[in-house]
Amino acid sequence: MSLEQNSHVKIIAREILSSNWYTLRKITYEYLKKNGSWQSQSREAYDRGNGAVILLYSVSLKTVILTRQFRMPTFINGNSNGMLIEACAGLLDKDNAEDCIKRETEEETGYKISAVKKVMEVYMSPGSVTEMLHFFIAEYSHAMKVTEGGGIAHEQEEIEVLELPMAQAMQMIETGEIKDAKTIMLLQHLRLKNIL
């Protein structure tokens, strides 16, 4: 059900607060409460488009492929070096989720994959960000490695590719070395489904 189809919500105004990088909007609306009264509310929503994330894994090696890169928002919120270990991810732009994640996988990790499995769709921060994230997993082998990866220079990406034992990755969640929600969710998915 979209906002426009919800009879309990009436959009009053939409205002663009910023469109420097992506779009930050202020939405003023009325919401029908359970007691039958209408309440005026206002919220800000950051629209950066939808995205996709993938966790590459090897059953035979019992390993996963992760990335490490600098993330400014974590740096200004207490991450002393700003580096974050993550599963490979990217914005859809105008691609469908599967095409996007195959492209991002090759650009970031250097692995050219053909078969991916979609496992879920998730709103990662629904209180303030519109993004829907499509989650994928895929098995990899070293034969699929076609480049060094590392991201795209003109997008100012400098990404380190990590091949880690699954047991070590799970331990890194406990030690706080892995703090990225999408990565933790995919690692837990592999564990819960007894894939690794």
pLDDT, averaged per 10 consecutive residues of the chain (196 residues), comes to 74 94 94 94 94 98 97 93 96 92 95 96 94 97 92 77 98 97 98 94
Q: How far is Cα 31 from Cα 136, in angstroms, rounded to an integer? A: 35
Answer whether 58's CB lies under 8 Å from 95's CB: no
State residue 183's pLDDT score.
98
State residue 108's pLDDT score.
94
Which residue do the tokens 């189809």 mark?
A: 5
Pair (11, 77) in one structural domain: no
Pair (72, 95) in one structural domain: yes
User: How many beta carbons lie within 10 A of that of residue 138, not counting itself?
Assistant: 20
State residue 165's pLDDT score.
98
CATH number at residue 114: 3.90.79.10
Pair (27, 113) in one structural domain: no
How many angstroms from the chain centroid is the CA of residue 39? 33
State residue 151's pLDDT score.
78
Strands (E), the chain: 9-18, 23-32, 38-47, 51-58, 63-70, 83-86, 88-91, 117-123, 132-139, 160-165
State residue 1's pLDDT score.
41
Pair (23, 114) in one structural domain: no
Pair (32, 76) in one structural domain: no
State residue 94's pLDDT score.
83
Residue 26's domain comprises 3-47
pTM of the model: 0.90
Q: How far is Cα 82 from Cα 70, in angstroms, rounded to an integer? A: 5
Give the count of domains, the chain. Answer: 2
Pair (26, 84) in one structural domain: no
**147: DSSP letter:** S
Which residue do the tokens 């894994």 mark?
A: 57
Pair (83, 33) in one structural domain: no
State residue 156's pLDDT score.
67
